[in-house]
Copies of this chain bind each other. A is one copy, B any other.
């Protein structure tokens, strides 16, 4: 009987119970923004490593695929991005009914210093597929 009160307690606390699609979209939004924040604070290679699922794949120049979180970190470490920053925000998020798979897209801006120290901006569109992990965290599986 006491377990029957759990939803009531959640509702009283201001949570939706069970979490609906909008709540899960918000989780993914927060994962995107935490990813962006880590990229700014700890560097791009570390953030792309931390937020990658074990078998994550990123598609980069000339349709090359980089597979696995170690290789993704190596890919970014080899590029000289110490002075670069990147910002992004999803314009669209959708998730599966089961709340374990979702995807986003939106705009990004890279700011990279050129050889003369001048900041050059590169704008584009990102797209990410997110998968909930066994520990309940969200990691990207495609970027």
Q: Whole-angstrom distance from the CB of A129 to the nearest CB of chain B?
A: 5
A94 and B141 within 8 A (CB): yes
Over the window 119-137 of chain A, the binary record of Cβ atoms lying under 8 Å from chain B Cβ atoms (1 yes, 0 no) is 0000111010101000000
Interface pick from A7-15, A26-34, A39-47, A98-106: A98-106
Chain A interface (Cβ < 8 Å from any Cβ of B): 57, 59, 63, 65, 92, 94-98, 100-103, 105, 123-125, 127, 129, 131, 141-142
17 pairs from A and B in contact (CB 8 Å cutoff): A59-B105, A59-B125, A59-B127, A63-B124, A65-B105, A96-B98, A96-B100, A96-B101, A97-B100, A98-B98, A101-B102, A101-B103, A103-B103, A103-B129, A103-B141, A103-B142, A105-B142
Interface pairs A-B: 4 shortest CB-CB? A96-B96, A98-B98, A96-B101, A97-B98
